[in-house]
Structure 1
Amino acid sequence: MATTAESNIIMEATEIRCQEKSKGGLCYEVILAEPTGTKRAPSPPQPSPTQQTTIEDKLKAAEERRLSLEAHKLASLAAKLSKIEETARKKDELSSAFMTATRESLDAKMNNTEEKREAHINELKNKLKEHLESVEKTRLNLEQQTKEVRAAVEEKLKTAAAQRDENIKKMLDRLKEHEEQVVRVRQGMTERVHQLESQIQGKLDQARDRRESMEREQKEKLRNHNTVKIAKVRETADVIALKELEAKKREIDMKVTIAEENRQREIQRRLQALRQLERRAEMVRQNKAARADQEGKEEENNSALPLKIETASSG
């Protein structure tokens, strides 16, 4: 029982930590605790032989247990280390297999890409060759067409030069005929202008004579018309002046009537004011008279009062 309890205490004190350092790799850290044991009471200074034997047996048993525990721990550590080594070996095998497969895949892809690139380059070369052949054919056709066009243009230029010379000659003949026609037309126009000027001058003379005769007739008519018109105007002016005088007279009469009414109203207002002043003056006179009577009575009373006082004093 004691051995089981001690082993439990040792296992509880021992700590194993596992940490993943990298992908697929593990790191174990084993922490061993200090050996623990129950504290024993100090032995008496002179133990007995039986007690000495018991202690030695216990020490041997403890040493055996410690050795067995260490062996067990070493065995477990060895098993764990073997597992770790196995895991690392498997990881290396998987990594090498993956690298081999990846390398083979890349090699296959590179070979396929190289084949495709060569095929694409060959195709481009063929297309370029065909394009150059078509360009060469087009160039030859263009040169042939250029030669034909140049020959046609030269032929047309020759024909155009001959036609141009002929047209220039015809135009010069037409210009000469046109100049002759212009000279004839100018002469005819000059003669026509002279005729028109003479006709216009004759018409102007006739118009001047007609205008002078019409002016004389108009002056005579105006002279006769002015006499009659002046009489009518004078008569009309007299009528208008008479009407204006009558209107002014009516206006003056109206103003005089209004002024008379205003004067009468002003006279009535002033008379009423005078009557009020007279009433006020009468009231003032009455007040003065009443005040004078009152003052006279007061003076009489005052003069009679000393006589009474003297009589009383003498009596």
Structure 2
Amino acid sequence: MEVQTKSTEIRCQEMSKGGLAYEVILAEPVGVPAPVPRRADSPDKTPSVEEIQEKLKAAEERRRSLEQSKMAVIAQKMAKIEEASRIRSEQTNNFITATKEALDAKMETHEEKREAYINELRARLKDHLEGVEKTRLTLEQQTAEVYKAIEDKMTTAADKRDENLKKMIERLREHTNKLEVVRSTISAKAEEISKDIETKLTTAELNREKEMQKKLDIIKKQERRAEIVRQNKNARADSEAPTQG
């Protein structure tokens, strides 16, 4: 009667630190009648220790070769990613530098125009105040002349002193009122000009700050975009790396 046997089984298990472990299991013969003694397996069908070691060595070499190939591919990809990231970072830095230089030049030009405008307004205000001062001196001189005329007429016209005095006082009152109106108008005009200058200065300063903030926002946006590109490239590189263990 023929003896049915199972082939020898070799189990391979990958260890946690990258090694391989093999387990050799010799199968028992099946289908043999009870009285018939068990036939010994042929020695040539049982793998020897040398063969097992050779298989393990070949498997280890294949695993190392495959791992080296993967690492070489990953290294090439990482080199390309790093080069692209370097070029992108250099372009971003160049853009930021150029933008800052252009912004500084524009702000300097704006500052010069602003100073020239302020100086022009100050010169106009100075001229106006000088005119106001001349008007005030003229009015004071006219007032002094009126007082002097009153005194003269009071001295030379005693008989008409009361009547003339009333007229002079009325004229003086009217002149004083006129002077007060002129002073009020001049003060209001000077205050209006001062407020107008202050408003224009404030508006110019706000516009300058807005322009600067707009340029800074563009620079920050470019920096955030470059950072996102670097993070995405690093994430792809990590996902393509072989799993160890």
Measured against the shorter chain, the TM-score band is 0.3 to 0.5
- Higher relative contact order structure (alpha carbons within 8 Å, sequence separation ≥ 6): 2
> Normalising by the residue count of structure 2, what TM-score does the alignment of the two structures yield?
0.44
